[in-house]
Amino acid sequence: MIARYRTSLFFFALGFVFYVACKGALKGYFSSDDLDNLAWTSHSPLTTFLIELFSPVFSPINFRPVGHFYFWALGRTAGLDFAPYVAVLQLLHLINCALLWRLLTKLDFAWAARAAGVLFFAFHMAAFDAYFKPMYVFDVLCALFCLTALVYWQPRYWGYSILIFLVAFKSKELAVALPVVLFLYEYWLGERRWKALIAPAVLAAAFTVQALFAQGGRGGDYGLRLTPATFWQALDFYASAILRAPHLGFALLALPLFVKDRRVWFGLSMMLLFIAPMLAVPGRLFAAYLYLPLAGLAIAFAAIVARWPVAAALLVVWLPFQYSELRGLRNAAIAEGDAARAFTVKVQELGRELKDIDTVLVDSYPAKMRRWGVEGAVRLALGRDDVKYLYLEDSNHADPADSAKLVLLRWDAARNDLFIQSRAAGADAAYIELSRIAPIWQLRQGWYQGEGNFRWTQPRAVARLRRPAGATRFSVTTNVSPDYIKAVKRSTLFVTIDGVEIGRAVYTENGWLTDYFAVKGEDAEKNVTVEFNVDPPFRPSNGDPRSLGVPIAAFGFR
């Protein structure tokens, strides 16, 4: 009786254990990529996804209609409720485990070897992000359709071959290797029927050529760059990630010498072929991209267990180790999600209270967020894409127009809170204390994010102030640390107003220091440009790559 239902019991136990181990993902939150995808797909009609799905043209804007449809559909039904996104993602992962089981059955593995291969794939921590973060749904869906192609491969039906390849490729581009994987299956394990492979092979070649022309030499994370240095960088990254130890993955290449089984050849070849497209994209190195290649490695592991059943005992040690690693990764993902949730929920106030804004000045945001996540959160809140974004940390950022309807976003990491401040009408401030409520829009180029009640400048920093009528004194308060003095010994701050130097401050000791400069009083009030220049620059010894000026706490007319 037990033997009859052992497969059902195995998957019931697998699903239960996976839920218990990974339910912490429900406490996470959307990544920057998720927020960006939700923001732009929310404006797209359903026909956009259908047209792109069947288009033979490579998308240079990285449009993957199958995965992006996931964001489109859940965005309309679940909104910013994170749990349904994770539930669907993890369900897809368990379906992939079932497909891998079917594939291992098709490859004539015994029950124990199939169970070992599925367990290896189901809980491999290289793929942790693939079932914790919706941004990796593209990898999970690509695996779904590639495994479906292998399980239900029917060489006599060429139309099926084209359809399954298109859907897999339009999930993620590494499916371009699928025709070669199917060729090796036919060559080593099938009946060597090739005709059905012609059409998907031609499509794969066409997509590859289009990608080389569209992305080759392009900058950014998705640019294709293949040099000896970048090739080795990417190869070593994945070789280290796949067995969770530096460089250890290279040892897998020796497996065929010890296990004389064509299924080992096939599994390792499948792994390498699905890794190969990622080696040309060194700007995007993430262990979760190994999700589909791990299915190939699981086949090779099943072959090892089939040859030496005692190898299944390795799982007794390996699975607890993976669970221990999962706990650490889970806690980090939850902490990252807490910051993203606090930021995004607070940004929703923009949509409720400040619908007419046209400029967002970003002072700071959570460390793990990216700019496209910040902008995605704002677009979701406002429901439109016509907002201008300025980042204070950019040394050459444009100055906000005086007439702009501006809002400031400042992230407080200590409080895990976002401070939102809209620019009030009226004249600029004459004196600025760089506290939480400082009018940051008056800071121009050359300022870094705030650190408590001061902020570092670059060697050159610019600000705008209102000069009151009759003002005769200008002050600058700095927070000079012992490390600063130890490194530079002596530093000079040059202060100019509208291009005219008004004085210099020399720093040879640490402390909270205030320097005063006399200025000639003027009858009329007006706005002026203040410039701070520091010589020599300060270069920290703690690994911070920035070139710094001085840490300023306050400045202006008193």
N-term to C-term CA, the chain: 89
5 found inside a domain: no
Shared domain for 435 and 300, answered yes or no, is no
Residue whose C-alpha is closest to residue 339's, from 30, 40, 34: 30
Cα separation values, 424 from 228, 345, 438, 558, Å: 55, 23, 12, 22
* Sequential DSSP letters for 244-271: TSTTGGGGGGGHHHH---HHHHHHHHHH
Q: Which pLDDT score is estimated for 387? A: 92
Where does the pLDDT of residue 68 fall: very low under 50, low under 70, confident under 90, or very high at 90 and above? very high
Q: How far apart are CA 360 and CA 422, in angstroms?
A: 9
Cα separation, 325 vs 281, whole angstroms: 27
Q: Shortest CA distance to 392 belongs to which of 353, 349, 363, 425?
A: 363
pLDDT tens column, 173-201: 999 999 999 999 999 998 888 888 888 88
Q: Which residue has the tokens 């992006």?
A: 68
Amino acid, single-letter form, for residue 474? F
Task: Answer whether residue 275 is part of any domain.
Answer: yes
Query: What average pLDDT does this structure show over 496-501?
Result: 95
Q: Is 477 helix (H, G, I), strand (E, B) or coil?
A: strand
pLDDT tens, 121-149? 999 999 999 999 999 999 999 999 999 99
Asked whether 18 and 90 are in contact (CB, 8 A), the reply is: yes
pLDDT surpassing 80 at residue 61: no
Q: Could you give the angle at which helices 65-77 and 32-41 cross, rounded to 10 degrees?
A: 80
Q: How far apart are CA 8 and CA 302, in angstroms?
A: 19
Instruction: Read off the pLDDT of each residue in 532-558 and give the average, rounded to a whole number.
Output: 92
Q: What share of the chain is helix, strand, coil (3-state, %, to 5)?
A: 55, 15, 30
Element at 188 (helix H, strand E): helix 178-188
Cβ neighbours for 52, distance < 8 A, ≥ 6 positions apart: 59, 63, 65, 170
Question: Kind of pairing, strands 406-412 and 417-422?
Answer: antiparallel
**Cα dist from 79 to 144, 235, 316, whole Å:** 25, 38, 41
Give me the numbers of helices (H) and strands (E) for the chain, helices first please. 17, 14
Residues 299 and 442 in one domain: no
Domain CATH number, residue 485: 2.60.120.260
DSSP strand pairing (431-433 vs 491-497): unpaired
The verdict on residue 341 lying in a domain is: no
- Residue 536: asked if its preceding bond is cis (omega within 30°), the reply is yes
Give the pLDDT confidence score for residue 92 in this predicted structure: 97
Task: Return the DSSP state at 224.
Answer: B
Closest CA to 85 of 147, 24, 132: 132
Average pLDDT, the chain: 90
Domain coverage including residue 509? 428-558
Nearest to 50 by CA among 170, 202, 178, 146: 170
How far is Cα 204 from Cα 180, in angstroms, rounded to an integer?
Answer: 9
Number of domains making up the chain: 2
Q: In a 10 Å sphere around its CB, with 0-12 CB exposed, 13-18 middle and 19+ buried, how is residue 229 labelled?
A: exposed
* Backbone dihedral region for residue 436 (phi beyond 0: left; psi -120 to 50: alpha; all else: beta): alpha
pLDDT for 402: 77
DSSP 397: P
Cβ(516)–Cβ(503) under 8 Å? no
Identify whether 360 is part of a domain: no
Q: How would residue 425 be classed by pLDDT, with cut points 50, 70 and 90?
A: low
Query: Looking at the DSSP assignment, which residues form a beta bridge with residue 406?
Result: 359
Same domain for 293 and 433? no
- Which tens digits make up the pLDDT trace of 457-478? 999 999 999 999 999 999 999 9
pLDDT value at 427 more than 90? no
Assess if residue 467 is contained within a domain: yes
Phi, psi of 63 (to 5 degrees): -85, 115
Residue 274's nearest CA partner among 377, 396, 360, 182 is 182
Residue 345, pLDDT > 90, answer yes
Give the model confidence (pLDDT) of 262-321 as tens digits: 999 999 999 999 999 999 888 888 999 999 999 999 999 999 999 999 989 889 889 999
What φ, ψ does residue 113 adopt, rounded to 5°? -65, -40
Confidence of residue 223 (pLDDT cuts 50, 70, 90): low
Q: Please, are residues 136 and 129 in contact by the beta-carbon 8 Å criterion?
A: yes
- pLDDT tens per residue across span 22-35: 999 999 999 999 99
Residues 272-286 as b or e (16 or more Cβ within 10 Å = b): bbbbbbbbbbbeebb
Q: Which two tokens mark 399?
A: 């100055």
Q: Give the list of residues 6+ apart from residue 306 with CB closer than 8 angstroms, or none.
A: 109, 110, 113, 261, 263
Report residue 2 as tokens: 């037990």
Mean pLDDT computed over 16-22: 93
The verdict on residue 505 lying in a domain is yes
Residue 493 lies in a domain: yes
220: left (phi over 0), alpha (psi -120 to 50) or beta: left
* In a domain? residue 356: no
Are β-strands 551-557 and 500-507 bridged in parallel, bridged antiparallel, or unpaired? unpaired
Residues comprising the chain, all counted: 558
Asked if 398 and 390 touch (Cβ cutoff 8 Å), the reply is: yes
Percent of the chain with pLDDT strictly greater than 70: 96
Per-residue pLDDT, averaged over 66-71, amounts to 95
Domain boundary among 292, 307, 322: 307
Indicate the residue among 277, 307, 337 that finishes a domain: 307
Q: Give the span between the Cα atoms of 400 and 442, in whole angstroms.
A: 9
Taking CA atoms, 352 is separated from 81, 383, 438, in Å, by: 18, 11, 24
Residue 555's SS3 state is: strand
Of 291, 307, 323, which residue constitutes the final position of a domain? 307
Closest among 252, 257, 234 to 298, alpha carbons compared: 252
